[in-house]
Amino acid sequence: MPNPLSISLPALRSFDMAARVGSFKEAARELGVTPTAISHQVRTLEEQLSVALFVRKTRTVVLTEEGKRLAASTLKGFQEIHEGLDALGSSSSRLTIATTPAFAALWLVPRVADFEARHRGFTVHVETSTEPVNLERDRRIDVAIRYGTGEHPGLATIPLLEESFGAFANPELLQAGTALENTTLIETRWRSPILSPIGWDDWLEAQQLDPGQFPSRRCFDQEQHSIQAALAGQGVVLASNLLVKDMVDRGWLVEYRPEARLQGLRYTALARSDHSRTGKVRQFLAWLEREAGG
Which domain CATH number covers 227? 3.40.190.290
- Tell me: do 116 and 82 sit in the same domain: no
Q: Which of 11-25, 231-245, 274-288 has the lowest mean pLDDT?
A: 274-288
- Tell me: do 181 and 256 sit in the same domain: yes
- Confidence check: pLDDT of 86 > 90: no
pLDDT of residue 171: 94
E-strand ranges in 194-294 read: 217-220, 236-240, 254-256, 262-272
Report d(CA 16, CA 38) in Å as an integer. Answer: 10
The string of pLDDT tens digits covering residues 249-288 is 999 999 999 999 999 888 999 988 877 777 888 888 999 9
Report d(CA 128, CA 194) in Å as an integer. Answer: 18
- Tell me: do 103 and 177 sit in the same domain: yes
Which of 60, 89, 118 terminates a domain? The answer is: 89
End-to-end Cα separation, the chain, in angstroms: 62
CB within 8 Å of 187: residues ≥ 6 apart: 199, 200, 217, 218, 219, 220, 226, 237, 238
How many structural domains are present in the chain? Answer: 2
What percent of the chain is modeled with pLDDT above 70? 93
3-state secondary structure of 228: helix
- Tell me: do 107 and 231 sit in the same domain: yes
- Tell me: do 12 and 138 sit in the same domain: no
pLDDT of residue 170: 94
- Tell me: do 181 and 265 sit in the same domain: yes
- Confidence check: pLDDT of 1 > 70: no
- Tell me: do 66 and 101 sit in the same domain: no
The string of pLDDT tens digits covering residues 109-123 is 999 999 999 988 888
Which of 68, 89, 110 terminates a domain? The answer is: 89
Judge whether 143 and 278 are in contact, CB under 8 Å.
no
Verdict on whether the full-model pTM lies above 0.75: no
Residue 27: domain span: 4-89
- Tell me: do 97 and 243 sit in the same domain: yes
